[in-house]
Amino acid sequence: MSYSISKRVKKILPSFTLQMATKAAEMRSQGIDVINFSVGEPDFNTPPHIINAAKKAMDDGFTKYTAGPGMIEFREAICEKLSRENALDYSPTEILVSNGEKHSLFNACQALINPGDEVVVFSPYWVSFPEFVKLSDGFPVIVKTDSENNFEPDFKDLKKKISPKIKCVIINSPSNPTGGVWRPESISRLLKIAKKFNWVVISDECYERLVYEGEFFSAEKLNRSEKIGASVVSCFSLSKTYAMTGWRIGYASGPEEIIKAMAKIQGQATSCANSISQKAGIVALTGDQECVQKMRGKFLERRNHMLLLLDKLNNVTCDKPKGAFYAFPNLNKYIGKRVNKKIIKDTFDISDYILESTKVVTVPGDGFGAPGYIRLSYATNKKNISEGISRIKLALDNIK
Ligand code: GLU
C-alpha cells in the first residue's frame, strides 16, 4: 500500500444519523419493509412555489457560480427574515450562505478554533458537534444537561469544567436529539458566562420554527435585548423549515470579522452555495409562510401520536419534547438484559436488535453522548409511527 489515510480522518467518528439513514435506504432498495425513524428530515415535499422558483432559475440560465458569501439578493432576503421573525437587524456583510446549515456550523468551527482550543458541547449533543471541533484540531468539553428540566445546561458541571483553554460554546435549542427547548433564563445565563470568559457562542437554531410548547428564543436576540455583549454566531437552516434537506442551503449571521473568516474557508472549499437553491431560498424566505405552519401542525399531531404510543411501552419513559421532531425515550431498563442469549450492553445493541428483529431504524443514544436513550424521528406519517412503535414493542417484550 502506497498511501495512508490522514490522522484527521482517524480521529473522528462517522455520522451515526447518516449511517442509520443509509442503512434504511439500503434495506428499502432490497425490498425490505423498513420503518425509518432514523434521519431527521421532513417527509413532505418542498412546497411548489419554492420548486417553481428553482425551475425558473434553471430556465433563466441561473446556473453559474454566485458571489462566494451568497448572492446579494438572497443575503438581503435573509436580513429581511431575521428582522421580521427574529427581531434582529443585520446587514448582508454579516451573513454567509452555505451548502446547508451543517456547512455553516463547520465553517464557524474552522474559522474560530485553533489547535488545542477547547469547546463546550452539551450532552446529549447532535452527533456532529464534537466531530466539527475535532476536525478543527480542538477538543470538545462535554458538559451535562438536566434531563428533568428540558435538557438545559447543568451549570454546576459547566463551572467545574471552565478553563482558560475554552474558546467557544456550541448550543442548540430546540435540541437535536432531545427536542428540549431551553428557557430564555438559561440561554441568558450561558451568554453571560460566555461574555465573562470571552467565549464565542455558536448557536444552532435550525429548529427555530418547530416549537410546540412555549416560545423560541434566539440567543442573539436575548444577547442584544439584555445588553449582554457576548459574541454570537447564529446558524439557520432552510432544510427543516421548508422541507428542503436535499437542496443543501443554510446560512449564518454574526460579527462581520467572523463571517468574513468563515467565507474565506468556504471560498477555498466549495466556492459558493448552490445557485439554484439560493434562488429558491429567496422565495422560501420572502414568500407565503403558510406552508411552514401547516407542516408544523402535522409534526405536532405526529409528536402527540408517538408519545401516546411510547407511553404504553413497558419499562420505557419519555419526556415530552417541546420542539424539533424527535422523541428521545429512555430504555435504560433494558441495558444488561438478555435477548437471543446475548446481553444488551448499550443502545447500539438495542438499535441493532430492533433493526434486525423488526426492521425499524432508530439512532442509538450512545451516539449522542446519551447512554440508555434512543432517538426516534417522528417526521414520518402516523401510519408508520403506529406500525414502527408496535414493532418496537414486540422487540422489547422479548428482552428478558
Ligand atoms: N440533522 C439531521 C439528523 O440529525 C440530518 C442528518 C445529519 O446530517 O446528521 O438526523
* DSSP annotation string for 11-64: HS---HHHHHHHHHHHHHHTT---EE--S----SPPPHHHHHHHHHHHHTT--S
Q: Does residue 39 register a pLDDT over 90?
A: no
pLDDT of 18: 87
> Is residue 1 over pLDDT 80?
no
Q: How far is the CA of 19 from the centre of ligand 1 (A)?
A: 10
Residue among 122, 35, 87, 334 at smallest CA distance from 221: 87
Provide the residue type at 391 as one letter. Answer: R
* Mean pLDDT of all residues in 84-100: 98
Pick the closest to residue 230 from 260, 264, 262, 187 (CA basis): 187
Q: Is pLDDT at 19 greater than 90 in this prediction?
A: no
Nearest CA to ligand 1 atom 5: 40
When the pLDDT of each residue in the chain is averaged and rounded to a whole number, the result is: 96
Cell of 102: 451543517
| CB burial of residue 2 (10 Å; 0-12, 13-18, 19+) | exposed
Q: Atom of ligand 1 at shortest distance to CA of 245?
A: 5
Torsion of CA 8, 13, 17, 20, to 10 degrees: 120
In the structure, which protein residues have their CB atom closer than 6 angstroms to any atom of ligand 1? 15, 17-18, 39-40, 102, 126, 128, 176
Tell me the pLDDT band of 16, cut-offs 50, 70 and 90: confident
Better-scored residue on pLDDT, 24 or 298: 298
Taking a C-beta distance cutoff of 8 angstroms, is the pair 79, 91 a contact?
A: yes
Cα of 221 vs centre of ligand 1, distance in Å, is 26
Backbone angles phi, psi at 285, to 5 degrees: -75, -30
pTM score, whole prediction: 0.96
**What average pLDDT score do residues 306-318 get?**
97
Report the C-alpha gap between 217 and 202 in whole angstroms: 14
In the sheet with 95-98, reading across from the earlier edge strand, the strands are 95-98, 250-253, 231-237, 200-204, 166-171, 118-123, 139-146, 152-153
Helix (H, G, I), strand (E, B) or coil at 154: coil
pLDDT in tens, 208-248: 999 999 899 999 999 999 999 999 999 999 999 999 999 99
Segment 153-176 mean pLDDT: 98
Ligand 1: atom nearest CA of 15 is 9
| Of 394, 341, 399, 373, nearest in space to 176 by CA | 373
Q: What is the pLDDT of residues 133-142, one digit of tens each?
A: 999 999 999 9
For residue 18, report the distance from its CA to the centre of ligand 1, in Å: 6
Reply yes or no on whether the pLDDT at 23 is more than 90: no
Q: Which protein residue has the closest C-alpha to ligand 1 atom 4?
A: 40
DSSP 391: H
* pLDDT confidence band for 20 (50 / 70 / 90): confident
Among 13, 16, 17, which is best to mutate for testing ligand 1, by the most ligand atoms less than 8 A from CB?
A: 17
SS3 content of the chain, % helix, strand, coil (to 5): 45, 15, 40
- Which of 12, 18, 378 best tests ligand 1's pocket when mutated (most atoms within 8 Å of CB)? 18
**Which residues, in sequence order, are CB contacts of 53 under 8 Å at separation 6+?**
279, 280, 282, 283, 284
In this structure, the residue with its CA closest to atom 9 of ligand 1 is 17
Ligand 1 center–CA 6 separation, angstroms: 25
**Could you tell me the sign of the dihedral formed by the alpha carbons of 36, 40, 44, 50, in that order?**
negative
Q: Provide CB contacts within 8 A for 259, sequence distance 6+.
A: 69, 93, 94, 95, 96, 233, 252, 253
CA-closest residue to ligand 1 atom 3? 40
* CA–centroid distance, residue 1 to ligand 1 (Å): 34
Strand, helix or coil for residue 66? coil
Close Cβ partners of 342 (under 8 Å, ≥ 6 residues apart): 349
Whether the CB-CB separation of 133 and 110 falls below 8 Å is answered with no
105: enclosing H helix or E strand: helix 101-112
Percent of the chain whose predicted confidence (pLDDT) is above 90: 94
Q: How far is the CA of 370 from the centre of ligand 1 (A)?
A: 16
Say yes or no to pLDDT of 170 above 90. yes
Atom of ligand 1 lying closest to residue 363 CA: 10
